[in-house]
Structure formats: C-alpha cells, structure tokens
A and B are shown apart, each in its own frame.
Chain A
C-alpha cells in the first residue's frame, strides 16, 4: 500500500543542522519530494530526487535516499529561524499523483 510516515515535531538550535526523516512503503516510487509550508501559506517545492539517485545537494539542503530501507531524509545545514515551517515528504510512481506524509513541524530556537 501507499503510506508515508514522518515524525510530527523537530526542535533545533539556530546554527545547528536539522535532519528530517521520512519512510515510505511503495518501493516502486520513482520520484521523492520535499515540500516546505510556512505559516498560513501553501506548500512550496524545496527539492526532489529520482529513485535511481542516492544523494542530492542544493546549497544548504542535502537529500539522502536509502531505497533498501525506503528511507528519505532532508538535512538543512546552518538552520535559521526562517527555516521554521512544516516539511512534507511525498512519493509518487507517476509525477502526476503524489502521496504526502503527515508533515514535520520544525521549530528553530535562538
């Protein structure tokens, strides 16, 4: 079946690294995404990774994919207060239908 799980909360100190984890169950997923939702706003695509990749880096963001364990993570280096938001991972077999996780609320404190 299709199910994407994330922990609900993460709290980090400003300047530290944040790691947000996600597990999925559909091994045939082709695309895996990370979205960010700031308060009162819709979701914004942060990055995505194809299932034939292990890692993708984009400035402060690093995505790691472990297909064997069906585990996806998002690392944010030098976390800032502006990174406080809800982060959703999503998987899809087809890029036209995404399955979202429950979201992880990241709180950054000074």
Chain B
C-alpha cells in the first residue's frame, strides 16, 4: 500500500525552538508539498518541491524553510517556533497527473 508518512502525529514545542517535521513517500513521486490547515482557512501552501534539492515558496513561507536532499524525503523546518505556528501540518506528494497523496498530518502545538 503506497503511502506518505509523517513522522509524528502530535508535537508540543516551546516558543523559540527549532522544529523539524519529516515526510517520507514511497511512490517515487517527483513533487512534494507542505501545507498547514487552520479552521476556516482551509489548506495553505507553505513550500513545495519538484525535484531533489529544488524548492519553491508557496503562499505563506515566512518563518519556514524546507530541505529535500533525497527524492523520497521532504522536511519542513520552523527556524524559531512561535505560537502562531500552532496548526495541523500536512505533507503531500504527487506525480504530474494523478492528484495528491496526503500524509495523516502532524498537529503541532507551540507553547
């Protein structure tokens, strides 16, 4: 069963901490994405990547960075976590044809 795996379902971090959210896909997909989901706002694109070592800013990249050193892994980094980054984070991957496959999400709370 093909899948996108996010390493943590729940995380609690302190303000100012550096936070790593990991995402791994086993479908050999070229494209990977990070979204955050907030009530009433839907999904907002943070960063995406079309290939290894490539990254592009989405709609809300401020306060985030990403890393894609291997095709199957796409990491989201919060350089200095803040309370307004408390959210559900969703990773997805896709080919250029069939829509996205999503991970189960990581619910991050910054205190």
A48 near B99 with CB under 8 A, answer: yes
Q: Is the CB of B99 within 8 A of A101?
A: no
Query: B94-111 interface mask toward A, CB cutoff 8 Å, 1 = contact, 0 = none?
Result: 111111111111000000
Q: Which B-chain residue is minimally distant from A46 (CB atoms)?
A: B99
- Do A96 and B40 touch (CB < 8 A)? no
Q: Does B25 contact A (CB under 8 A)?
A: no
Known: A31-B99, A42-B105. A103 touches B42 (CB 8 A): yes
In contact, B90 and A95 (Cβ under 8 angstroms): no
Whether A100 touches B42, Cβ cut-off 8 Å, given contacts A41-B104, A45-B101, A95-B99, is: yes
B105 pairs with A96, CB closer than 8 A: no
Question: Do the beta carbons of A33 and B104 come within 8 Å of each other?
Answer: no
- A99 CB, nearest partner CB in chain B, Å: 8
Residues of A near B40 (CB, < 8 A) are 8, 102
Q: Does B41 contact A (CB under 8 A)?
A: yes
**Of residues 50 to 109 in A, which have CB atoms within 8 Å of B's CB atoms?**
88, 94-98, 100-103
Interface of A is mostly: loop
Chain B residue at smallest Cβ distance from A4: B42
- Tell whether A43 is near chain B: CB-to-CB under 8 Å: yes
> Are the C-beta atoms of A95 and B96 separated by less than 8 Å?
yes
Q: Compute the total of residue contacts between A and B using a CB distance below 8 Å.
A: 54
Residue of A nearest to B90 (CB): A42
- A33 contacts which chain B residues (CB < 8 A)? 99
Contact pick for B41, options A41, A42, A102, CB 8 Å: A102
* Cβ–Cβ < 8 Å partners of A31 in chain B: 99
| The 9 nearest A-B residue pairs measured at CB | A42-B102, A102-B42, A100-B43, A43-B102, A42-B104, A96-B31, A45-B99, A42-B105, A42-B103
Report which A residues bind B (CB closer than 8 A): 4, 8, 31, 33, 35, 40-45, 48, 88, 94-98, 100-103
Jot down 15 A-B pairs with beta carbons below 8 A, ordered by A. A40-B104, A40-B105, A41-B104, A42-B4, A42-B102, A42-B104, A43-B92, A43-B100, A45-B99, A88-B43, A95-B96, A96-B50, A97-B45, A98-B100, A100-B43
